[in-house]
Structure 1
Amino acid sequence: MNSLLPKLNDIHTLRERRTPPNGRRASFHVSAQQQLKPELEKDGDIGRLWMTEERDYRDCIDSGIITALLLGPLVSASALLVSLPAAEFGSPLSSLSPRWLVEPPLASSTIPPTVALVRSRRNMFEMASLCSFLISIHFESSRRADIRVAKEREGGVRSGLLPKSELRRFGSYVGMTVIMVSIAVGVKTAATSTGSSLWSELSMFDVLTVSLFYQFCLYVMIRLARRGFTLGELCFVAQCATALVMETTNLTISRIWPISTPFIKTFRRPTPLLIYQLALIPGCLLAGFLLSPLLVLSRNIAQKPLHRLRFPEDKLIQRRGLAAAVYAGFALFIGGVVGVWTQWCLGWRNPWAWVVFWLLEGRRPWSRLVLLGYWGILGSLSVAGWNRQLARQRRYRHLNGHGAGHNAPARTGNGTLTQDGHVSESAIQSPVGTASSSVTEMLDAADKHVPTLGLNARRKFFHALAVLMFLPGIIIDPAFTHLSFSAAFALFTFAEYVRYFALYPFGAAVHVFLSEFLDHRDSGTAILSHFYLLTGCAGSIWLEDSKPILELTGVLVLGVGDALASIIGRKIGKHRWSSASGKSVEGSAALAGSVWLCALLLRLSGIVDPFSLWKYGCAIGLGSLLEALSMQNDNLVLPLYVWCLLALFDV
C-alpha cells in the first residue's frame, strides 16, 4: 500500500486526478464540450492571444471572447453610472453612506470628491475600452496567422502555428506589443489633433502605461497559470490588475506633485481603505515578482527527483534555506517598502497603529473585534473540520467509494506523510499514548460508516460558509469588511506562492488540502477557485456603491443562488438550456428565485433600504440566464454581471 502513495517531489504534476463530477454542471458539460469542440475549431471561433495556442487555455467550448471584449467596459460603465447622482447634486463631501465608518477621501481644493470620482471612472471606462481595443488586435492577428498557416499547409508546406522555441515566442510577443503600443499612441495622437473625444480622459502617459502593463499581465498570467484561464477570464483579470496598478501609480503621482494634479485619479474613493488595498494586493504581487528567482529555484528543487540532484543529501537544507530567504524577503518588503509607502500616503501616520486604533472605531468599541473573532472561529472550525473529513476520506476511500483525488497524497494508519512525500515508519508503533489508542480505534471504526461528501457538496460548503461569514460583516460594517476582503486576498496570494513554488514546510500541506476541492475548471498549474469565490463576494463591496442591496449582490448570488442552482439542478433538473450546456432550467429558476426571496426578506426586515422588487427580479432573471448560457467561471463573472444589471436598472 505504501508503494502506491505518490511522492510530493513533483506535487505540481498531479493534475490527472481531477475527474469531473456527475450532474448538472459537469458530466454533460464535458461530454458536450468534447463533441462540439472540433466544430468550433473549424469555424475559427476559439479566440487566442498572439503567440499562444489552444492548450494554453482552460478546456472549454466557450473561449469567452464576448467576456474579454465587453465585461471590463460594462463594469466600468456601470460604476460610472452609480457615481453620477451624487455629482449631479453637487455634494462637497464623500457620497459614501454613513454606514461606512471611515475617514473622508483625500481631495484637492478645487474639485469635490464626487466630481473627481466621476472623472476618474470616465478614465476607467476609457482604459477598459483601450484594453478591449488591444485584445481585438490580438484576435485579428492570430486569426490571420491561422489562415496563412492553413493555406501553406494546403500548398504542401509544413508550417506550424507557433515557433517551437520559447525565446522566439517571447520575442514575437514583445514585437507585437511594441506594434500595438505604437498603434494605441497613434490613435490617441490623431484623436487629440482632430479634437475627437476618443480617450479624452486618458493622457499619453496613461495610454503608454496601460498598453504596456496590460499586455505584460496577459503574457505572465498565461505562462504561470497555464490552462487555468479561459480567454475571457484571462483578459478580465488582467484588466483588474491593470486598474489596480494605475490606481497605485496615480495615487503616488498625486502625492509627489499635488499642485499639478487637479484631482486624484483613482477609480474608487481615495480613502484609507483604498490605500490599504493597494498596499496589500499589488504590494504582495510585486513582492512575488521581485522574489521570483528564489521562488522559481524553490519549485525546481522540489520537483527534481533525488537522483537528478548533484548533492541529493543537501536537498532538504537547500529547500529550508530558500524558504527562509523568501519568507524574510516578504517580511522585509511588506514591512519596509510597502509599509513606508502606506505611511506616506496616510500623511506619515503609522499604518500599523492606524489599523489597531481603527479596530476600536466601529459602531461600538468592541464590534469590530467581535466580528474579527467571529470570522476567526468560523474559519478555524471549517479548516480543522475539513482536515479531519479529508483525512478520513482518503483513509477509507476504498470503503466509501468516494474520492475527489485518486492520486492525491494521503496519510494512512501505517505511517505519516513527510514533506518529500515519503512515508515515515518511525511513528508506526509508539508506546506513547497507549491510554488513548482505544478511543482512537473507536473513532476510526465509526469513521468507516460515516458517509463522505462528494466534490460538489465540498465546494458548495464554502459558498454557504461565505454567507455565514460575509453577510453579517457587510450588513454591520461594510468598511471593515472591505479592508478584511483585501487582507484575505493578499493572504490567499501568499498561500498560492507557498503552494505553487513548494515552499518548505507548508507547500505540500496547502497543495494536498486545496486539491480535494478542485473540479474540471481548475485544470491548470495555478489554483484559482478560492480567488474567484472571494472576488465574487467582495467585488460589489470594492466597487463602493452606496446602496446596501447592491453591496450584498456577490454574497447572495454566489452563497445562496449559485449553490442552490447547482444542488437543485443536480437533483431535479431535467430540461437543459441547450445541447452545449450542462445547466438546467430548474437550476436557473432556483438561482433567480432564491436570490429574489433573500432580497425580499432583507427588505422586509429593514436591513436594506426599500427598492424596486420587479426591477430586482428582472436583473436577477437576466443574470441567471447569462449564468446558464456562459461557460466562464460563475464565481468570477456572475456577481459582476448581476451587479452591472442592478446598476443599469437603477434598483
Structure 2
Amino acid sequence: MARRRCVPPLGPGPRPKLTKSLDIELRAVSVIAALYYVWAHSSISLRQNTSAKTKEHSPNSSNPSYRPGSPRHLDKDPRKTTVPTMTSSKSDFGYIWMSVPKNYRESSDDGIATGLLLGPLISAAVLISAIYTFNDSTNPNLAWLTDPNLLPTESTSVSSALQALVVSRLNLVNLGTFCSMILLAHVCGSWWLEGLYGKTPGNPEGERVSVPRSEGRRLIYFVIFTGIVSLFMVGLKALFQFSGIGIWQDLRMSDAVLAAPFYSLTLYAGLRLAHRGFTVGELSVVCYGGTSVCLEFLNFTRSKILPGTYTRTYRLPTPLLIFQIAMVVGSLLTGFILSPFLVLSRNNAQQPSYRVRSPTQHLKSRRYYALGFYAGSVLLIAGPIGLWARWQLGNRDPWLWAVLYVLEGKNKWSRPLLLGYWALLGSISVAGWGRQLSRSRKHRMRNQPNATAEQSNSPQVQAYDVTTNHSNSSTSEHTGSSAQRIPTPPPSAAMGRSFPTLANIPRPSLPNLPNGSNVSNVASDLLYAADKRVPILGLNARRKFFHGLAVVMFIPGIVFDPAFTHLSFSAAFALFTFTEYVRYFAIYPFGASIHLFLNEFLDHRDSGTAILSHFYLLTGCAGSVWLEDPSKLLQVTGVLTLGVGDAAASIVGRRIGLRKWSPTTNKTIEGSLAFVGSVFGCAWLLRLCGLVEPFSSVRYLVVAIMAALLEALSDQNDNLTLPLYMWSMLVVLGR
C-alpha cells in the first residue's frame, strides 16, 4: 500500500514543492558532496601526495597514459596564443574500491561531484515533473503516456495513475541519494585503505599500493567490501525507519536490499567490461540508470506475482515501458547468458596468426562461436524475453502488438513513413561514410608506400587488442588525426583538406562502351578520381556530422509522434548493444567491419575497450523522451543540447575561439556563447513554428547558460551529462 502521508500536496498551485524530509535529504547530499570535494582538494590532502604530484607533473614524453586535452580551436591559427594543456595531478582523485587509475579514462577531474549530485538531481526533477503533470492531468499532450489496459488494477483513472507515479518517484529520489552514499562509501573506503599503506616508492604507474595486482584477490576483496557496505546501508535505512527519521522513508526495504549490492557490482562490472572507458562520475551515472531500470523490471515482475494497489515503476506502466525494459534488460541478459560464446570468440580472434596451427580449423571455430551467439540470441529473444513481454501485456502477443502499433498513428501511413525516413537517412549516412572512409584509407596507402605493410597488418591486431580494443589512428580530435602514421598534408591542402593536385590525378581514357570489358574498371577509376577531389574531413567534423544528423532525424519524430519515437529509441539502444557485442567480441563475420568503421570516429575519450560514443549520443537525445514529461520543449531538449548546442560550441570554438576558460582546458568563451545562442535560438524557432509550447525566455536562457558553464568547465562526457542536466534544471526552475 502506498503511504499517502509521504505524497506532497498535489492540489492546484503555481509550483510544486518537495516534502520537508526530501528537502533535507537532498541538501544533506549536496553538503556532503561539497565537504568531500573541499577535503579532497585541500592543501592537507595535496601535501600527503606531494611525491605523486611531482612525478605526474614532471615532463616525460614516454608516459603512455598522457593524452592531451581535446582542443576547441586550431593551434595553427597565428592569431591565437597556444598554451600547452596542463596535466592535472591525480593525487586528489577518488576511486572505486579495488580500482586503480589505469582502470579509468584520462580526465582532468574524476567527476565525483557529477556522480554524487546528478543522480539525485534527475530524480528530484522527475518527481517535480510528475507533480506538474498531476496538477495538469487534462493536458492533451499526456495522451501518449496513458494506456487504460495497464493502469493500476483498482482504479483505471489517469488521476490515480499519476498519483501512483508521484509515490513511485518519491522512492526514486530516495534511491538516488542512497546510491550516492554507496558511491561515497567506495571512494572514502579507497582513500582510507590507501592511507593505511602510506607512501611506497617504486609503485608502478597506474597502480595503487593498497590494490593487489592479482585480479582474483581484487574480486574477493571487492565482494567482501560490497557485502559490508550493503549491510551497513540497509541497517542505516532500517535505523532511520524505526527511529522515525525522515531520511529514505519512501525507499522500500526490499528495494534497498536489492539496490545496495546491485549498484556496487555494476560499478565493478562497468570498470571491467569498459576498461578505461569511464571516469568515476560517468560510471556512477550509468550504473544508477541501470539500477533504476532493473528495479523497474523487478517491480513489474513482482506486481504480476504479488498484485498490489499499483505497479511501483518510475514511469507510467505503459506498453512503451514494458517494451523498453524487455529490449534493454533483455539485451544485457542475453550478453550475460551467452558470455561463453562471446569470450571464446574474442580469445579466438586475439590469437596471432603465427600461433594458429590450422587456419581452416581456426576459421571454423569462429563460425561455430558466431552461430552459437546468433542462434542463442534468437532463442532468448523469442523465448524468455518475448514470453515476459507477453505476460506483462496481459497475454497479448508482443510481436503482433508491435506490428499493429506501427499502423496506429494519426494516419496508417504516418509511422511507416517515419520509419522509412529514418531508414533512408541512416542508410545513406552509413553507406556514404563507409565508402568515403574506405576510399580515404586506400588513398593514404597509395600516397604512403612505407605504411602499406603496417596498415595491412594493423586491422587484425588492433581491432581486438586487449588493452585498447581499437587502433591508435583516431585518438585525437585534431584535424587530420593520427599524426604518427600519416604525414602532414602539403601546404596547398588548406583547412585540413587532403587531396592531390590536378597534375597527379589520373585521366583514364574511356573505352568503347559497346565492348563492355573494361566498364567496371573505368567506373572504379572514375570514382577513385572523384573521391580524391573530395576533402577528407577531420575527426571533429566526422563526429559533429552525426550530431547534426540527430537533429534532422529525431526532431520530426519527437514533435509529431513522441510515443513511437520513445519505442524506436529503445529498439535502437538494444540494436546498439548487440552491435557492440559483435564488435567487442569479434563475432564472425561482422566484427572487424564494424570495428574499422567505428574506429574512424573515436577521440581521446574513447580510449577504452568498449566504444561508448554512440550510446552516449543516443541516450542524450532519447533521455528527454524516456523521462516522459508531456512538455514538447522538454522532449526536444536532448536533441537541441547535443545536435545544435554542442556542435555549435565545438565549431565556433575551434574556428574563432580566442579566450580559454582556464589554463587546464582548451574550451573557449566564444564556444560557450555559441552554445547558448544556438540552443536558445532553435528553441524560439520551434516556438514560432508552433512545434513547442510557450516558455519563459528568461528561465530558459538562464538554464542554457548554466549548461554552457557545465560543458566548458567539466571534463565529463558532454553527450551523457549535458542533456540530463539541462532537462533537470528546466524542470526544477519551472521552464
Confirm or deny that 1:334 pairs with 2:377.
no
Name the counterpart of 1:238: 287
Q: Tell me by how many angstroms 1:613 deviates.
A: 1.1
Give the 3-state SS of the residue equivalent to 1:329 in structure 2. helix
Partner of residue 238, structure 2: 189
Of 566, 570, 574, the residue aligned with 1:482 is 566
Moved more, 608-617 or 195-204: 195-204
- More displaced, 431-440 or 312-321? 431-440
Change (3 A) 1:27 1:138: farther
- 1:324 and 1:144, CA in 2 relative to 1: closer, same or farther beyond 3 A? same
Whole-angstrom CA distance in 2 between matches of 1:27 and 1:221: 36
Matched, 1:516 2:600: yes
- Superposed, which structure 2 residues align to 1:202-351 within 5 Å? 202-258=251-307, 261-309=308-356, 311-351=358-398
Q: Which of 371, 375, 386 is the matching residue for 2:433? A: 386
Question: Quick one: which amino acid aligns to residue 86 of structure 2?
Answer: Q
| Correspondence for 2:87 | 36
Q: Tell me the SS of whatever aligns to 1:611.
A: coil
The residue that corresponds to 1:559 in the other structure is 643
The equivalent residue for 1:6 is none
- 1:574-599 per-position Cα deviation (integer Å, ceiling 9, x unaligned): 00011111110000000100010111
Q: Secondary structure at the match of 2:142?
A: coil
Say whether the 8 Å CA contact 2:145–2:316 is kept in structure 1.
no
CA 1:68 to 1:207, structure 2 compared with 1: closer, same or farther past 3 Å? same
C-alpha change, 1:318 and 1:179, in structure 2 (3 Å) is same
2:653 matched to 1:606? Answer: no
Q: Which amino acid aligns with 1:329?
A: G
Shift, 1:309, TM fit = 4.1
Partner AA of 1:86 in structure 2:
T
User: How big is each residue's C-alpha offset from its partner over 1:123-160, in whole Å with a ceiling of 9 and x where there is no partner?
Assistant: 11111111100011111111112222225669xxx993
Q: How is 1:464-475 mapped onto 2 (pairs within 5 angstroms)?
A: 464-475=548-559
Whether contact under 8 Å (1:21, 1:456) holds in the other structure is: no
Shift of 1:20: 6.8
Counterpart-to-counterpart distance in 2, 1:123 and 1:26: 48
Between the aligned partners of 2:74 and 2:605, the Cα distance in structure 1 is: 10
Q: Which deviations, in whole Å up to 9, do the C-alpha atoms of 1:560-587 show, x marking residues without a partner? A: 1110110010000000011111110000
Residue number among 67, 81, 87 corresponding to 2:134 in the alignment:
87
SS of corresponding position for 2:704:
helix
Identity of aligned residues (%): 49
In the alignment, structure 1 segments of 5+ residues that lack a partner are: 1-15, 413-417, 422-430
1:124 matched to 2:172: yes
User: 1:109/1:620 Cα in 2 relative to 1: closer, same or farther (>3 Å)?
Assistant: same
| SS of equivalent residue, structure 1 residue 632 | coil
Paired with 2:374 and 2:86, the residues of 1 have a C-alpha distance of: 47
Q: Is the 8 A contact 1:18 1:518 kept in 2?
A: no
1:368 aligns with 2:410: no
CA distance in 2 between counterparts of 1:473 and 1:310 reads: 53
Mapping 1:520-599, distance limit 5 Å: 520-599=604-683
Structure 1: how far apart are the matches of 2:659 and 2:421? Answer: 41
Q: Closer, same or farther in 2 for the Cα pair 1:374/1:103, shift >3 Å?
A: farther
Q: Is the 8 A contact 2:67 2:106 kept in 1?
A: no
- Equivalence for 1:97: 142
Once the two structures are superposed, residues 508-561 of structure 1 have per-residue CA deviations (whole angstroms, 9 ceiling, x without a partner) of 000000000000000000000000000000000000001100000000111011
For structure 2, the residue ranges without an aligned partner over 5 or more in a row are: 1-63, 77-81, 471-514
Give the superposition deviation at 1:388. Answer: 0.9
- Asked whether the equivalents of residues 200 and 209 of structure 2 are also in contact (C-alpha less than 8 Å), the reply is no
SS in 2 for 1:98: helix
CA gap of 1:99–1:344, structure 2 versus 1, over 3 A, is closer
Rounded Cα–Cα distance in structure 2 between residues aligned with 1:436 and 1:632: 49
TM-score (norm 1): 0.88
Partner SS for 2:524: helix
Match of 1:3 in 2: none
SS in 2 for 1:284: helix
Which residue of structure 2 aligns with residue 9 of structure 1? none
Asked if 1:458 corresponds to 2:509, the answer is no
Pick the aligned partner of 1:628 from 712, 720, 726.
712
Q: Select which of 98, 106, 111 maps to 1:64.
A: 111
2:693 match: secondary structure: coil
Aligned partner letter, 1:236: V
The CA deviation at 1:369 is: 0.4
Query: Post-superposition shift, 1:185?
Result: 1.4
Q: Secondary structure of the equivalent of 1:448?
A: helix
Residues 599 and 104 (structure 1 numbering): CA distance in 2 closer, same or farther, change over 3 Å?
farther
User: Could you tell me how far apart the structure 2 residues matched to 1:196 and 1:73 are?
Assistant: 19
- Report if the CA contact (8 A) 1:24-1:569 is conserved: yes
The match for 2:41 is none
Distance in 2 between the 1:433 and 1:69 partners? 68
Tell me, yes or no, if the aligned pair for 2:69 and 2:85 is still in contact at 8 Å: no
Q: 1:18 to 1:275 in 2, by over 3 A?
A: farther
For 2:529, the equivalent position in structure 1 comes to 445
For the residues of structure 2 that align with 1:407 and 1:482, how far apart are their CA atoms? 45
1:267–1:605 Cα change, 3 Å: same
1:162 to 211, 234, 248: 211
2:108 aligned with 1:24, yes or no?
no
TM-superposition CA deviations, 1:602-644 (whole Å, max 9, x none): 1111111111111111111111111111100011100011101
Alpha-carbon distance in structure 1 between the residues aligned to 2:224 and 2:420: 52
Give the direction of change, closer, same or farther, for the CA distance of 1:384–1:410 in structure 2 (3 Å limit). Answer: farther
Matched residues in 1 for 2:325 and 2:516: separation?
Answer: 50
Report how far residue 451 of structure 1 moved.
1.3
Distance 1:463 1:650 in 2: 27
Cα deviation code 1:166-186 (max 9, x no counterpart): 100000000100000110111
- Structure 1, 431-440 or 550-559: larger mean CA deviation: 431-440
Q: Which residue of 1 aligns with 2:23?
A: none
Q: Is the 8 A contact 2:133 2:630 kept in 1?
A: no
- Highest RCO, 1 vs 2 (Cα 8 Å, sep ≥ 6): 1
CA distance in 2, matches of 1:159, 1:624: 35
In 1, Cα distance between equivalents of 2:140 and 2:250: 22
**RMSD between aligned alpha carbons?**
3.0
Whichever residue aligns with residue 130 of structure 1, its letter is F
Give the CA deviation at 1:487. 0.2
> Hey, what does 1:149 align to over in structure 2?
197
Q: What displacement does 1:33 show?
A: 9.3
Q: Deviations over 1:426-471 (max 9, x none)?
A: xxxxx99632211211221222232111100000000010001000
C-alpha deviation, 1:88, in angstroms = 4.4
Q: What is the CA-CA distance between 1:306 and the residue it aligns to?
A: 3.4
SS at match of 2:428: helix
Distance 1:219 1:23 in 2: 31
